[in-house]
Amino acid sequence: MNGTVMSQKGFTLIEIIAVLIILGVLAAVAVPKYMDFTADARKQALEGALAEGLSTVNIAYAKLMLSNGGTVCDDGPDYCQGQCKQASE
């Protein structure tokens, strides 16, 4: 055994611990950033859905105005005694 060099393959414990620490730091930075991205995406999806709903209501109102000759009517007895009002009023 004198004069022979043993060839060992593998990682030392220090190298493994260093890699684990680096991965932990990266995970600590990446996970909150990912959570922010998902929260922002949900907020943007909600704003898009609200805009779509508003657009749908506006289109329905415009169709109602076109079909009634520019007037808005409600046949209920408590609303202008059943008479139509001009949209400009």
Residue 61 has pLDDT above 60, yes or no: yes
Indicate whether this model's pTM tops 0.85: no
Q: Higher confidence at residue 26 or residue 3? A: 26
Residue 78 has pLDDT above 70, yes or no: no
Contact 85, 71 (CB under 8 A): yes
C-alpha 64: how far from chain center: 33
> Could you state, in order of their start, the residue ranges of all structural domains in the chain?
13-86
Query: What confidence tier does 87 reach under pLDDT thresholds 50, 70, 90?
Result: very low
Average pLDDT over residues 59-73: 82
Kindly report which listed range (33-37, 66-70, 71-75) carries the lowest average pLDDT score: 71-75
